[in-house]
Amino acid sequence: VVLALVVIVYLVTVDRNKKFDLTSEKRFTLSEQTQKVLSRLEGPVNAYVFYSKQMDKRSISDLLGQYRYLYRDFNFEVIDPDLNPGIVEKMGVKEYGELLVKYGGKTEKAKSANEEGITNALIKLSQTSVKKVYFIKGHGEKSIEDYGNNGYDRISQAIKSENFDVDQILLLRAQKVPDDCAVLVSAGPRSDYEQHEIDLIEKYVRSGGRVLF
Give the model confidence (pLDDT) of 54-77 as tens digits: 788 899 999 999 999 999 999 999
pLDDT at res. 26: 47
pLDDT at res. 87: 92
Rg of the chain's alpha carbons, rounded to an integer?
24
**pLDDT-above-90 percentage for the chain:** 67
Q: For the chain, list residues with pLDDT below 70.
A: 12-28
pLDDT at res. 187: 93
pLDDT at res. 16: 53
Q: Which residues, other chains included, contact 78 with Cβ-Cβ below 8 Å and sequence gap of 6+?
A: 49, 51, 57, 60, 61, 64
| pTM for this entry | 0.58
Residue 88 one-letter amino acid: V
